[in-house]
């Protein structure tokens, strides 16, 4: 008998998650958007159920038979949704970008005997696996990553299109940003300390604007005392910071352009992770670069693929028994668990999401 998975949320990422798991498990997708559920069920063998996920009481009957729950809801209801799932006695993999501290639910999850893996997207997610894995192997001095979801077209700053939930994108622009310098947590305003970075996008080098956001999240806690310098920045086209700052100064609310299916075809996700570490007497520098584009066969956007497939890689580790740690587990814990990171990276590679690796050694 197939294991049963309930996916809460049928947005772009929730759709990818449900679709990817549906060939191996019995998947039920839950959302209040009937049209989104119909679009999902016409393309993939997914059971659908209409429910308002902002009301926790509506979930209890839905989750009753689930072997695993995946939360792909907007960040504004993410924490309460996670709490409800744990209270229902169900293990969960969560990708929602909520502002609350997930560790506040750790004792609750432990008492319930629940495995709750949070922040399981492309970033946070993939960088955290690497931080956990390398921290087990050697002494890391610096850990940095830059990441962005953009479009080949629509390059003018005011025409930026969100590649995930617009409300969560706005959170990146308004939530204080934290990083770690010489073992001390530094809090800065979002959009601060901009710099220009040249990265290879497809066949050509492109200069992008990088700025502070709060993307380290749980790494600040899990790697405290282990990695003295950690930093994350978000990537946009040059000029976007100035545009968003003008909006904020005017007290305006950012209303992104309407996104169409054709826009998905121009979308790409880019991330560069740099790790400086020492192994014995040798200094080493590791780099991981991800560049991903729209999937024309499955008609899936890059950000939904990279986020969704990272989540389903973790979900398969939990469902298959490879990861069973009880309590709240940020992705760095998964990276520390023997074999899990390589299993997830193999899972991503099978879906044409490849991390290009580099390594340098210094005496």
Dump the DSSP string for 315-329.
HHHHHTTS----EEE
pLDDT at 259: 64
Q: For 248-252, 285-289, 355-359, which range has the lowest pLDDT when averaged over its residues?
A: 248-252
Domain boundaries, the chain: 4-117, 126-299+332-362
Shortest CA distance to 118 belongs to which of 87, 86, 84, 95?
95
Tell me: pLDDT of 312 over 90.
Answer: yes
> What are the φ/ψ torsions at residue 181 (nearest 5 degrees)?
-130, 120
Percentage above 70 pLDDT, the chain: 96
pLDDT at 260: 65
pLDDT at 157: 62
What average pLDDT does this structure show over 277-299?
91
pLDDT at 363: 57
Tell me: pLDDT of 286 over 90.
Answer: yes
72 vs 164: CA distance, rounded Å: 11
What average pLDDT does this structure show over 271-289?
92
Q: Give the H or E element holding residue 30.
A: strand 26-31
Q: What is the pLDDT of residues 52-71, one digit of tens each?
A: 988 877 788 899 999 999 99
Q: Assess contact for 42 and 15: CB atoms under 8 A.
A: no
Predicted confidence band of residue 169 (pLDDT cuts 50, 70, 90): confident
Q: Which are the contacts of 232, defined by CB distance < 8 A and separation ≥ 6?
A: 123, 127, 144, 145, 146, 147, 179, 212, 213, 214, 215, 216
In this structure, CATH architecture of domain 126-299+332-362: 2-Layer Sandwich (3.30)
What average pLDDT does this structure show over 302-309?
95
Tell me: pLDDT of 28 over 80.
Answer: yes
- Tell me the pLDDT of the chain averaged across its residues: 92
Handedness of CA 103, 115, 64, 313 (dihedral sign): positive
Q: What is the pLDDT of residues 329-338, one digit of tens each?
A: 999 999 999 9
30 vs 43: CA distance, rounded Å: 16
What average pLDDT does this structure show over 340-361?
94
Domains 4-117 and 126-299+332-362 share a fold: no
Q: What is the 3-state secondary structure of 293-316?
A: ECECCCCECHHHHHHHHHHHHHHH
Alpha helices in the chain (DSSP H): 12-22, 34-43, 60-63, 75-87, 106-112, 126-137, 166-174, 219-222, 240-249, 261-264, 302-319, 331-336, 340-349
Tell me: pLDDT of 176 over 90.
Answer: yes
Tell me: pLDDT of 83 over 60.
Answer: yes
Tell me: pLDDT of 122 over 70.
Answer: yes
292 strand-pairing partners: 269
> What are the φ/ψ torsions at residue 60 (nearest 5 degrees)?
-60, -45
In this structure, CATH architecture of domain 4-117: 3-Layer(aba) Sandwich (3.40)
Tell me: pLDDT of 21 over 90.
Answer: yes
What average pLDDT does this structure show over 201-224?
91
Both tokens assigned to 327: 């309590």
Both tokens assigned to 110: 């432990």
pLDDT at 142: 97
Percentage above 90 pLDDT, the chain: 74
Q: What is the pTM of this model?
A: 0.93
183 vs 82: CA distance, rounded Å: 30
pLDDT at 171: 83
């Amino acid at each position: 008998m197939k294991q049963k998975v309930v996916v809460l949320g049928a947005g772009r990422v929730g759709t990818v998650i449900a679709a990817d798991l549906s060939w191996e498990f019995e998947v039920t997708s839950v959302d209040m958007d009937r049209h989104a559920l119909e679009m999902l069920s016409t393309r993939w063998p997914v059971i659908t159920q209409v429910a308002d996920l902002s009301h926790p009481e509506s979930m209890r009957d839905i989750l009753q038979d689930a072997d695993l729950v995946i939360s792909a809801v907007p960040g504004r209801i993410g924490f309460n949704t996670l709490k409800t799932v744990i209270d229902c006695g169900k293990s969960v993999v969560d990708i929602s970008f909520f502002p609350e501290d997930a560790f506040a639910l750790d004792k609750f999850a432990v008492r319930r005997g629940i495995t709750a893996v949070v922040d399981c997207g492309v970033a946070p997610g993939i960088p955290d696996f690497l931080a956990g894995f390398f921290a087990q192997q050697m002494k890391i001095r610096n850990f940095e990553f830059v990441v962005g979801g953009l479009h080949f077209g629509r390059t003018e700053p005011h025409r930026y299109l969100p590649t995930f939930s617009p409300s969560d994108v706005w959170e990146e622009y308004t939530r204080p940003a934290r990083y770690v310098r010489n073992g001390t947590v530094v809090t800065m305003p979002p959009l601060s300390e901009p710099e220009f970075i040249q990265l290879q996008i497809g066949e050509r080098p492109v200069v992008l604007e990088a700025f502070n956001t709060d993307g380290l999240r749980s790494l600040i806690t899990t790697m405290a005392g282990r990695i003295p310098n950690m930093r994350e920045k978000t990537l946009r086209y040059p000029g976007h910071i100035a545009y968003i700052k003008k909006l904020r100064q005017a007290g305006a609310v950012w209303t992104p352009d309407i996104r169409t299916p054709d826009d998905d075809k121009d979308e790409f996700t880019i991330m560069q992770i740099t790790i400086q570490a020492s192994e014995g007497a040798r200094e080493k520098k590791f780099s991981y670069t991800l560049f991903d584009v729209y999937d024309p066969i499955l008609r899936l956007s890059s950000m939904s693929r990279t986020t969704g497939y990272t989540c389903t890689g973790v979900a398969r580790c939990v469902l298959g028994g490879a990861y069973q740690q009880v309590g709240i587990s940020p992705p760095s814990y998964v990276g520390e668990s023997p074999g899990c990171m390589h299993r997830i990276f193999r899972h991503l590679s099978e879906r044409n999401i490849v991390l290009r690796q580099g390594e340098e050694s210094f005496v």
